[in-house]
Structure 1
Amino acid sequence: KTGQRLDPNQELIGQGLANMIGAMGQSYPASGSFSRSAVNLQAGAATGLSSVFTSLMVVVVLLFFTPLLYHLPQSVLAAVIMMAVIGLINVSGFIHAWKAQWYDGAISVLSFVCTLAFAPHLDKGIMVGVVLSLGVFLYKSMRPTVSTLSRCEDTALRNAMTHGLAECRYIGMIRFEGPLFFASASYLEDQINDRLQERPDLRHLVIVANGINDMDASGEESLSLVIDTVRAKGLDISFSGINDTVMDVIKRTHLYEKIGVENIYPTMEEAICAVHENAHDRSEETACPLTDVCHLPAA
C-alpha cells in the first residue's frame, strides 16, 4: 500500500521470539492483525513505533477508561474496522491481473470470494488461492508453449500461428519454452510427432532450445527419443541456442555425441543458413517463410 519493502521472514521471527519470551511471563500470544494494521495505516502511522504508542494507549484505556467504553456496541467497533479495511480493496489490481493473464484475475477473485465466505477462517480462503495457483503452475509446467517459427515483418523469427505466417515446407523450426523435465518431456514428444504427421514434406527439424532453461534425466531421455524418431523417418535434426546448463547435461549423458557437434548451432540464424540449401534441394517452394515474410492466404 505504501510501497515499503517488507521481509516476511523478519516478521515471523519477530512474532516467534515475542511469543517465546512472552510465554515466560504468562503473556497473551502475539500475532499480526490485518484489520489493526489497516486502522493503523488509516490513522497515518508511518513506522513500527506506532504499535508501541498504540499499546501504551490500550494500557491507559484499560486502566482508566474501561467503564466509559464498556457499553460501546460491537457494531461501532466493526464499523471502524470495515471503514479502514475497505480502503485496502484494490479493484484495479483485479482488473490488471485479468489483463495480464485471465487465470490470474480469476484466481484473485475466487480467493477474495472464498475468504469472505469462510470468514472468520481466513486461512481457508488463502489456501484456495494457493491451491489454484499451484494447479495453474503445474499445468503450465506440464504443457509449455511449443511453437513453429517463421520470419515476421520485423525480420525476427516468431510464432507462425500467432502472427498468421506460413510455415516452411521443408524445415521445421520448433521452439520449446520452458524447462524440459519429467512433467513436460512427453508433451515435447507428442508435439514433435504431431508436426511430423502434419507435414510429410519435412526434411530437416531444428529444435530452438534457447527457451529450455533446465533439463533433467527424463528430459534428456525424451530428447534422445525425439532424435531417434526424427532420424528413423529419414529427416535430419539440429539444435540451436542451447544454454550452458542444458549443454552440461547433454555432455554428461553423452547425448552430445549422439546429436553431433555439426548439428549444434549457437543461434537460429546460423542454423537456418547451414541447413537451408540442403533442405531445399530440388524443392518446389518459391519463397521460404524462414527467409522471407510469407503470410497465410486470407480465409
Structure 2
Amino acid sequence: MKLLKKLIPILAWLPNYKKTALKADILAGITVATVLIPQGIAYALIAGLPPIYGLYAALVPQLIYVIFGTSRQVAIGPVAMDSLIVATGISTLALIGSENYIAIAILLALMVGSMQLLMGLFRLGFVVNFLSRPVIIGFTSAVAMIIGLNQFRNLLGVDFLQSDQVHILLEDIFLKISYLNINTSIIGILACIIIVLFRKINKKIPNALIVVVLGIIVLRFFENFLTDVAIVKDIPSGLPKFNIPIIDIVLIKQLFPIAATLVMVGYLEIISIGKTLEAKQDEYRISANQELVALGLSNIVGSLFQSYPTTSSFSRSAINEEAGGKTGVSAIVSALIVILTLLFFTPVFYYLPKTILAAIIIVAVFNLIDIKEAKRLWKANHLDFWLLIATFFSTIFLGIEPGILTGVLLSLVVLIYRTSRPYVAQLGRVPNSDFYRNKNRFEEVIIDPEILIFRFDAQLFYANCNYFREKLDDMTEEKGISLKLIILDAESINRVDSTGIEMLKERIRYYHKRNISFYFAGVKGPVRDDFFRGGILEEVGLEHFFMRANGAVHFFQTGNNENQKKYAQYIHQAYK
C-alpha cells in the first residue's frame, strides 16, 4: 500500500481529507478558474491555436496531475512561456491556426509527455541540477519580455511581426507604431492599468475576470462604435473528444528539439513552483521524479483530449495558495468550472476583445522579469550575475531554443570551472589551542616553518588534479628549504578517483625524495578505502593517517604517540 501511495499520491491524502478544508478548497478552485479561463483563451492565441484549445488544455491535464502529482497546490494548465515555445517551433512547419498546425501541437504534447514520463520512470529528475537559479531567472525574464512584446500586436491592433528575437520585434514595432488602432489601444492600455491597480490593492481580486467582463460589456453595447476592435468571436461549445494524435516519424524528428526544450522548461517551472509552495507548509513533500511522471501523464492523456503542451503556472499556483487551497480538491473544482464553461458559457466570450487578452498576458509575464534578483546577485556573486545576464541576452537576441541551450552550456562551464578550481587553504594553529584554521582568514594563527597543512575543499578527481598539484607545489615553494612535513587535511574531500590517487602517489614520492614527509588527516572512511585500494599504503604507512591535523603535528614533533598507534591499528582492522 505504501508503494501504491507513492506511485499514486492522491491515495495518500484523499482518504484522510478533512472537511474543514473543503470550503477553502472550493473558494480557491473558483478563484483559480476565474483566472484560468481568460488566461487559457489568451495563451491559446499566443500558441497560434483557436481559443477553445486553451480551455481544453485547462481541463484534462490538471485532473490527471491531481491524481499523480506530489504537490497539492500547483496549478496545471496552459502557460505563456510554453505557448510561445509551441508557436515558435510549429510556425515553421505549418500555417498558424490551420488543421495541420493544431494536429502538430497535439502531437507535440504527446511527445513532451512521453519524454517526461520516461525521465521520471528512469529517475532522471537530477538533470534539472544542470540549470542553476541564475540561468532559470535569466531565461524566464527573457521569455517574459519576448511574450510581452509579441502581444503588442493585439494590444495596439497593429499587425506586428511575431518572433522570439527581441531586436526583430522592437525594429518592427518602431517602424509600424504610427499605424496603431486608437480604440484598440485605449481599451488595452486601460485594461493594463485596471489589472495593475487591482493587483496593488489586493492580489486576491480576480482582476483578469473583471477586465474580461468589462471588455465584453463594452463591445456588446458599443459594437457599432468600435467596429475596428478585434474580438474573439465564436468559440465552439462542448467537451474535448477522445482522439489519438497522428503519429508521423518524420514530423517527430523535426519536433524533437522543440519538444526537448518544452520538457526542460516545463519541468523547471513545476519544480521551482512546487518547491516554493512546499516551503510554506508541512503537509507534503515534493518528489522530483514523481513530478516528471505526473507532468508526463498529464500531457500524454491531455493530448488524447486535444490539449497542447501544459505545465504549472506561476501566477495561478500562487493565487491558489493565497486563496487558501490546501489539496487537489481546489484543482478539481477549477476543472469543473472549466467543464461548465465549455458546455454552456463559451458564447459569452464572443465579444471579448483580443486587446483585453493581450493586457492580461502582458501584465502577467512582465511580473516575471526579476530585476531585484539581478541586483542582489551583482552584490552577492558576480559570476552568477554574469551567468544570468548572458542567459538573458542570448535568449532575447538568439531566440528561445538557443537561449535555453546557452544557459545549459554556461551552467556546465561554471560547474566545471568551480569543481576544477576549488578553494584551497594553508592552515595554522590557533594560539593556546589544538585547533587549526585558514591563515588567510585568521591572522593570529601560528604557522610552523617546518610544517605545511594543506586543505583541499572538494572531491579530488581528474578535473582538478593539476590544480591540486599546482597549489600544493606553490605553497611548498613558499615554505622553502625549511619544510619538513606536508599534512593533507582531507576532511573536505568526499570522493577521489584513480587519477587523483595516482597524482597523490606521484607527489608523495616526489616529496620523499626531498626528505619531506607526507601525512594525512581527517580522511573519511570511503575516501580512505579508495586510497588503500589505489595503493597509497605503498607510499605511506598506516601510522601516517590521523584523525585531526593536531594529532599529525604532535606525532611529527614528538615521534611517539600511543593514541596514534591505536588509531592506526583501528584503521587496519576496519580496512581488513
- Rounded Cα–Cα distance in structure 2 between residues aligned with 1:91 and 1:204: 51
- Give the corresponding residue for 1:162: 441
Residues 1:62 and 1:118: Cα distance change in structure 2 (over 3 Å)? farther
Of 259, 264, 271, the match for 2:540: 259
- Give the corresponding residue for 2:512: 231
* 1:14-163 pair list within 5 angstroms: 14-23=294-303, 25=304, 27-34=306-313, 37=316, 40-41=319-320, 44=323, 46=325, 47-85=327-365, 93-94=373-374, 101-108=381-388, 110-111=390-391, 121=400, 124-152=402-430, 155=433, 156-163=435-442
Partner letter of residue 132 of structure 1? L
Of 452, 456, 460, the match for 1:176: 456
Residues 251-279 of structure 1: CA deviation (Å, up to 9, x unaligned)? 2123123211222211111111111357x
Residues 207-257 of structure 1: CA deviation (Å, up to 9, x unaligned)? 111111111110110000110111111211111111111111122123123
- Give the corresponding residue for 1:297: none
- Rounded Cα–Cα distance in structure 1 between residues aligned with 2:408 and 2:477: 40
Q: Which region of structure 1 is more displaced relative to structure 2, 166-175 or 216-225? A: 166-175
Q: What's the secondary structure of 1:27's corresponding residue?
A: coil
- Rounded Cα–Cα distance in structure 1 between residues aligned with 2:494 and 2:361: 47
Residues 1:273 and 1:153: Cα distance change in structure 2 (over 3 Å)? closer
Whose RCO is larger (CA < 8 A, sep 6+)? 2
Q: How far 1:97 moved relative to its partner? A: 5.2
- Rounded Cα–Cα distance in structure 2 between residues aligned with 1:84 and 1:179: 43
- Rounded Cα–Cα distance in structure 1 between residues aligned with 2:488 and 2:427: 10
Contact 1:35–1:81 (Cα < 8 Å) also in 2? no
Q: What's the secondary structure of 2:539's corresponding residue?
A: helix
Q: What's the secondary structure of 1:162's corresponding residue?
A: coil
Partner letter of residue 486 of structure 2? L
Residues 1:175 and 1:238: Cα distance change in structure 2 (over 3 Å)? same
Residues 1:51 and 1:162: Cα distance change in structure 2 (over 3 Å)? same
Q: What's the secondary structure of 2:452's corresponding residue?
A: strand
Partner letter of residue 268 of structure 1? A
Contact 1:182–1:216 (Cα < 8 Å) also in 2? yes
Contact 2:462–2:497 (Cα < 8 Å) also in 1? yes
Q: How far 1:161 moved relative to its partner? A: 2.2
Contact 1:114–1:125 (Cα < 8 Å) also in 2? yes
- Rounded Cα–Cα distance in structure 2 between residues aligned with 1:55 and 1:154: 69
Q: How far 1:14 moved relative to its partner? A: 2.3
- Rounded Cα–Cα distance in structure 1 between residues aligned with 2:364 and 2:317: 6
- Give the corresponding residue for 2:524: 243
- Rounded Cα–Cα distance in structure 2 between residues aligned with 1:158 and 1:183: 26
Q: Alignment length, in residue pairs?
A: 275
Q: What's the secondary structure of 1:215's corresponding residue?
A: coil
Of 488, 497, 500, the match for 1:207: 488
User: Normalized per residue, which structure has more strand?
Assistant: 1
- Rounded Cα–Cα distance in structure 2 between residues aligned with 1:50 and 1:77: 24
- Give the corresponding residue for 2:34: none
Q: How far 1:189 moved relative to its partner? A: 1.4
Partner letter of residue 14 of structure 1? A
Q: How far 1:188 moved relative to its partner? A: 1.4
Residues 74-126 of structure 1: CA deviation (Å, up to 9, x unaligned)? 3322332344455566666556655654433443454455556667x3x5544
Q: How far 1:183 moved relative to its partner? A: 0.8
Q: What's the secondary structure of 1:238's corresponding residue?
A: strand
Q: What's the secondary structure of 1:163's corresponding residue?
A: coil
- Rounded Cα–Cα distance in structure 2 between residues aligned with 1:258 and 1:185: 18
Residues 1:250 and 1:7: Cα distance change in structure 2 (over 3 Å)? closer
User: Normalized per residue, which structure has more helix?
Assistant: 2
Partner letter of residue 437 of structure 2? R
Partner letter of residue 537 of structure 2? Y
TM-score, length-normalised on structure 2? Answer: 0.42
Q: What's the secondary structure of 2:311's corresponding residue?
A: coil
Residues 1:76 and 1:49: Cα distance change in structure 2 (over 3 Å)? farther
Contact 1:148–1:174 (Cα < 8 Å) also in 2? yes
Root-mean-square deviation (CA), in Å? 3.2
- Give the corresponding residue for 1:290: none
- Rounded Cα–Cα distance in structure 1 between residues aligned with 2:332 and 2:360: 20
Q: What's the secondary structure of 1:199's corresponding residue?
A: helix
Contact 1:206–1:271 (Cα < 8 Å) also in 2? yes
- Rounded Cα–Cα distance in structure 1 between residues aligned with 2:318 and 2:538: 66
Residues 106-149 of structure 1: CA deviation (Å, up to 9, x unaligned)? 43454455556667x3x554444333222221111111122110
Contact 2:431–2:446 (Cα < 8 Å) also in 1? no
Contact 1:35–1:84 (Cα < 8 Å) also in 2? no
